[in-house]
A = this chain, B = another copy of it.
Amino acid sequence: MSNSLKTKRLYKKSLKNGEIKRLNTLKDAISKINHLLLHVKKEGELYQKVCDILIKTGEYVFICIGLLDSQKNKINGIAFAGKEDGYLSLMNNPVVMTAETGKILVVNDIATDTFFKPWRSEALYRDYRAMAAIPLIYNKKIIGNLNVYSGVENSFKNQEIKFLNEVANDIAIGIKSIRYEKELERNYINTKRALYETINSFALISERRDSYTAGHQKRVAALTSAIAKAMKLDSNITEGIYFISILHDLGKMCIPLSILSKPACLSKAEIMLIQSHCNEGYDILKNIEFPWPIAETILQHHERINGSGYPYGLKDKDILLEAKILAVADTIEAMSSHRPYRPAIGLNKALKEIAKNKGILYDGLTVDVCIDLFKNKKFKF
């Protein structure tokens, strides 16, 4: 074998080894990027970290991810790594330009490529010798590009372009996942807020008609929430008890105002009519699948644990905890407030009343917690 042939072969072999090594390095980078995409929850972080991983391969001098500004129809470099040195602030630099076609653009030799002429000297000054720009496609639209600058001309071989395309695809998948989650979160939060506000308005409307009970539901809700917190109930139950309480007299909407606000003793028929507010409230709400037992609790909030309540005379074990708490708070608030048919009885008498009937009409633990709130924890309506 002639020496020159030997040298050529050795050169080819070392070239091949170099290429294998390079592709292996890039494979490792893809693995890191994929791993990153599983974790990352913010788009900005994703872009920056992808640039960082690619630059750390040591194979490139400058990496930049650009995003399309759809109004101005141009790409803005939003994350980069490596030797930028003011390159992105050059007017109409290639990062800004190469997004429109949606095709991969490779400039094998920046020093000679005519396309690159306008930025050639700036690029060579920064040791950029070759460039590849890969579009980022999301929902079939170009949203930006991945720009990779190499310090060696002709370094973007087919295999490597395939690799960079894979990186671009993975970025797009990552963006999709992040945006989908963000949208879901936003929709959920907005809908939840609309639900909360609707329930509150629901409560408001039922208080609008009947000024005597206006504010009653809100005050009861403050007390039941405090009791639930003091009992250290699950946060979902505590949240639910607020909404249950704020709506508990909704059924009074269906009772003639003339009876609701009659400043005199009521007939038996009138009392029965007023008592029907539990069933009426239940009927209005029973078909709504709230995450809390709102309708059922409203139906039960005048039940008493010895079975003397209405509408069904349920006993202790058959009454929901929420209804037991609501019964105590409702009684205390009602006795503390003025009613058309009687003046306020007062908080102290109300507390004595529930203490006297602890374990008879009212749930023992609830009574203890409630009295403790007023006596020791400075709870006030």
Contacts and interface: CB of A to CB of B under 8 A. Distances in A.
A194 B38 contact: no
Interface residues of A, number: 45
Question: Could you tell me the dominant secondary structure of chain A's interface residues?
Answer: helix
A42 to B, nearest CB: 15
A155 to B, nearest CB: 22
Contact of A27 (B27, B173, B198, B201): B27
A194 B195 contact: yes
A306 B250 CA distance: 40
A291 interface: yes
**Copies of this chain, tallied across the complex:** 2
A191 B184 contact: no
A41 B28 CA distance: 25
A170 B31 CA distance: 11
B185 A288 contact: no
Given A188-B191, A253-B208, A38 B37 contact: yes
Contacts of A38: 34, 37-38, 170, 173-174, 177
Given A31-B34, A289-B193, A198 B202 contact: yes
A353 interface: no
Contacts of A170: 35, 38
Interface string A141-170: 000000000000000000000000000001
A377 to B, nearest CB: 31
Contacts of A193: 289
A195 to B, nearest CB: 5
A291 B177 contact: no
Contacts of A192: 187, 191
A290 interface: yes
A341 to B, nearest CB: 21
A30 interface: yes
A39 B173 contact: yes
B34 A190 contact: no
A204 interface: yes
A204 B194 CA distance: 18
A266 interface: no
A209 interface: yes
B208 A289 contact: no
B289 A205 contact: no
A288 B201 CA distance: 8
Interface in A282-302: 284-285, 287-291
B194 A289 contact: yes
A181 to B, nearest CB: 6
A180 B41 CA distance: 12
Interface of A: 24, 27-28, 30-31, 34-35, 37-39, 170, 173-174, 177, 180-181, 184-185, 187-188, 190-195, 197-199, 201-202, 204-205, 208-209, 250, 253-254, 284-285, 287-291
Q: Which 7 A-B pairs have the closest CB atoms?
A: A34-B34, A197-B288, A188-B188, A195-B195, A184-B184, A38-B173, A191-B191
